[in-house]
Structure 1
Amino acid sequence: MPLSDTQCKNAHKHAKAATGKAFTLFDDKGLHLLVKPLKNDLAKWWRLKYRFDGKDCLLSLGVYPEISLQQAREQRDIIRKQVADGINPSDNRKAVKSSKAANASNSFEVIAREWGLKKVETWADKNNRSKRMLERNVFPWLGSIAITDIKPMAILECLRRVEDRGTIETAHRVLQIVGQVFRYAVATGRTERDITPDLKGALPVAKGEHFASITEPKAVGELLRAIDKYTGTFTAVCGLKLAPLVFVRPGELRAAEWGHIDLDAKEWRYFVTKTGTDHIVPLSSQAVAILSELKPLTGHGRYVFPSERTPHGDRCMSENTLNAALRRLGYSREQMSVHGFRAMARTIMDEVLGIRPDFIEHQLAHAVRDANGRAYNRTAHLPERRAMMQQWADYLDGLKNGAVVIQINRAV
């Protein structure tokens, strides 16, 4: 059973205290209180046991009662999150300690967080992509170092770790963010120049926005049938099935919140960070069916697709989960990506179904403007887009069931 504060206070009354030997009171999830009898008192230290890279590790969390049971549990949860994100808590603690000993106001992490607060609109969101990229890939190694002391090779080492995970595009994105931090440091007088251009050509060329996609109708049908047979987690299965029906950006799909979805109205409304606009996704009956089946499992939490590592739903699904599912289905990185469902919809809706391009572009949340150069609002052509999304879902069902594909030539 988890510890109570009373048990911590009354450790001297424990049966093992009379032996004069150290003993342990266990709480939960690796947290425990190490009790060592002294001459006239007891010393009580919080310890946390965790595993990292397959090895057992132990970390000190302070002394009781200076660190209360509640505070120790909060530290435990933070450390477990670091482990889940691939960060060694011991290394991170050394970096933070070094940062405090150095000129903290000039450390990379301090400057980066200052940049985020001033320049990134959604920085306060704990799931902000730029912040999480820095926290996972840069801060543990460079966060405590004065920005003037960072060398290009140190940045490249961080990028190589990302590249080793097979995410070249992410490595390029991390480099872009680090460059923005450096340019902010130059503008605020903390360093003389941005050193990231020195790494030009050091990373393999990223494909940029040309994400792998299947756009041939017959092959799309084969993909949809493969998805239907996927045997991964139910959350991942639902994510894969929903992706082609809504064709939003992968990050938007992963971060979908139940509070933004109205199944009765068949709508999903949310803010598109990339374009800074509100967006409406009309939900087809097929999409509603998928979400309705998933809601009893994840509807108690914030996210439609929560991380498997956080069953309480306080974090969304990992950015690699759905792409990894496609790989397990036999589709290589060069054949198909989750982002590729957008190109699939755009190409087939235009070339096969003959749908007006401005309807498609608006549904893709691209910057669509009217004849007078004004940006369309989120409700523009909503009835037509509702019909389009249902037509698209019905068409996909037809492909999945082996329907004959008929090319439609749209009138100019």
Structure 2
Amino acid sequence: MNTITIRLSVMMFLQFFIWGGWFVTLGTFLGGTLGASGGEIGMAFSTQSWGAIIAPFIIGLIADRFFNAERILGILHLVGAVLMYLMYQSGDFASFYPYVLGYMIAYMPTLALVNSVSFGQMKDPTKEFGKIRVWGTIGWIVAGLVISYVFSWDSQQAIADGMLRNTFMLCAIASAALGVYSFTLPATPPASKGQEASGLGELLGLDALSLLKDKNFLVFFLSSVLICIPLAFYYQNANPFLTEIGVENATGKMTLGQVSEVLFMLALPVFLNRFGIKLTLMLGMAAWVLRYALFALGDADGGVMLLIVGIALHGICYDFFFVSGQIYTNAKATEQCKSAAQGLITLATYGVGMLVGFWVAGQVTDAYVTDAGHDWAPIWYFPAGFALAVLVIFVLLFKGEKVEAND
């Protein structure tokens, strides 16, 4: 491993350590420490979607045209460190929300910036990027293990004592470190310096709308938006659910999902080439149905293995639908609009789809509040049924295609 690879791997590790260090336990913190309602928790999680919607403007209008990517990355993480510290100090949801909104607007563009910095140093990204990106997943895993097994901030007693807010201090320190570190990274000049600014349509991927004339792609596109509603339930409710029902070291156990993600990522190209895109996407959606059914049936005693299996399904849930969907989008798009097509699908899913999903998850969660906490079974049956409906519609309307993926 050469010096550049090590430096980029450290960057990627910190990038996702920061995200995994607070986002997984956000719902638990808001409900258990700040006393937020399901609707308010949904508002907090939806800041990710607002960040995803605003990110193309920051990348397309600023980072791609005027400043080096590593400098923008450093500035955004330093700003993020301040906002994260203010989140740590917040005593109620009203004061917390503006900071988390500002933070996600600052953080979401950095996901593209770390890729830009990485690609700018590579001769063959198809062979080199995976070895660096995997350190991001490792960073997410380490964050969860540290929270659960080193500090035990997610235990019921620690949550009652307000210790979970320390995750924000931890991530503020990591964000400040990455902010400073970013200025030492190799120079990555703006890709479009000197070119006239693109129209909003190009920045948002709207020039890829012609792809929707293809019936198969239209079915896939709408399914992608709709399946983000069940996806939002996992991000918003999984950690509060596991913690509330008494699963020990819930955050650490949830890192099994990221381990699964790495393993199934390796299997995905083989599966796509052998069985085709339709079966791969179907399996991804079916895994969401099964995962939520297992969550509805499981408990912290005799049914804990059902919960573990549900967590471990994350690799199939995410890789076989969202990653294979990115591959499918790339295959369907022309050379002139490949980037625009990816921008469009990202905006539709992480932007619009999950924005709606977090709102729905908040409303459903609030509908099943009990004196003891929540009646979790119907909360999980809702996204299971929704994912099943999307799966049925997809099976009936999507025609099989062969999409190759290099492994």
Structure with bigger gyration radius: 1
If the length of structure 1 is used for normalisation, what is the TM-score?
0.25
Q: Which has the higher contact order (CA 8 A, sep 6+)?
A: 2
Q: Which has the higher strand share?
A: 1
Structure ranking higher in helix proportion:
2
Give TM-score scaled by structure 2 length: 0.25
